[in-house]
């Protein structure tokens, strides 16, 4: 499962910049990284081809859209039906994360809602699944850190690769 791809320093720098602003042009990146736009384009196409860059997106303030209830739902699933249950739950439009985990529970679900009633319906639906043994639901009270960029992580990688 570890199909880690060896990247050049430029690739890490491109990922850092694009993680902060996915709309940067080749020309803008070429000025920041002191490389030609053609070189930048070639490296980005390589990162896309290898599946490292999967898509480009935006950061949305969900609270301003009324989706200010965030729930974390832990699941215990029986009889080897974990993937089947997770894939079905992932189809729910309120769900934005489904993860296999270790520990007391088998899966972790993250979902956003406009109203408690919507959360209640999802939890009741999940509990009605034949292979769900139990759920444990947490409401997120405050968001301390929620970022879509890993810019600081890339800085660490850049610093480490410069030492080698």
| Predicted structure pTM score | 0.79
pLDDT by residue (tens digit) across 23-33? 999 999 999 99
Categorize the per-residue pLDDT at 65 as very low, low, confident or very high, splitting at 50, 70 and 90. very high
User: Burial code of 84-118, b = ≥16 C-beta within 10 A, e = fewer?
Assistant: ebbeebeebebbeebeeeeeebbbbbebbbeeeeb
Q: State the alpha helices, DSSP H only, in 24-140.
A: 26-33, 37-49, 82-90, 116-127
Q: What is the rounded distance in angstroms from the CA atom of residue 118 to the CA atom of residue 94?
A: 9
Provide the pLDDT confidence category of residue 163 given band limits of 50, 70 and 90.
very low
Comparing 136 with 56, the larger pLDDT belongs to 136
User: pLDDT tens digits, residue range 71-130?
Assistant: 999 999 998 899 999 999 999 999 999 999 999 999 999 999 999 999 999 999 999 999
3 pLDDT higher than 80: no
Domains and CATH numbers, the chain: 9-58 (1.10.10.10), 62-139 (3.30.70.920)
Of the candidates 47, 65, 64, 69, the residue with the CA atom closest to the CA atom of residue 56: 47
**58 alpha-carbon distance from chain centroid:** 12
């Amino acid at each position: 499962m570890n199909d880690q791809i060896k990247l050049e320093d430029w690739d890490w720098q491109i990922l850092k910049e694009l993680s902060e602003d996915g709309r940067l042009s080749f020309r803008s990146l070429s000025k920041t990284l002191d490389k030609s736009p053609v070189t930048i384009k070639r490296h980005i196409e390589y990162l896309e081809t290898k599946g490292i860059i999967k898509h480009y997106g935006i950061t949305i303030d969900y609270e301003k859209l009324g989706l200010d209830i965030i729930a974390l739902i832990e699941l215990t699933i029986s009889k080897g039906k974990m993937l089947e249950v997770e894939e079905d739950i992932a189809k729910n439009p309120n769900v934005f994360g489904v993860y296999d985990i270790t520990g007391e529970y088998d899966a972790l679900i993250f979902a956003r809602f406009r109203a408690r009633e919507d959360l209640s319906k999802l939890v009741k639906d999940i509990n009605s699944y034949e292979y769900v043994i139990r759920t444990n639901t947490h409401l997120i009270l405050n968001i301390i850190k929620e970022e879509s960029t890993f810019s600081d992580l890339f800085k660490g990688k850049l610093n480490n690769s410069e030492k080698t």
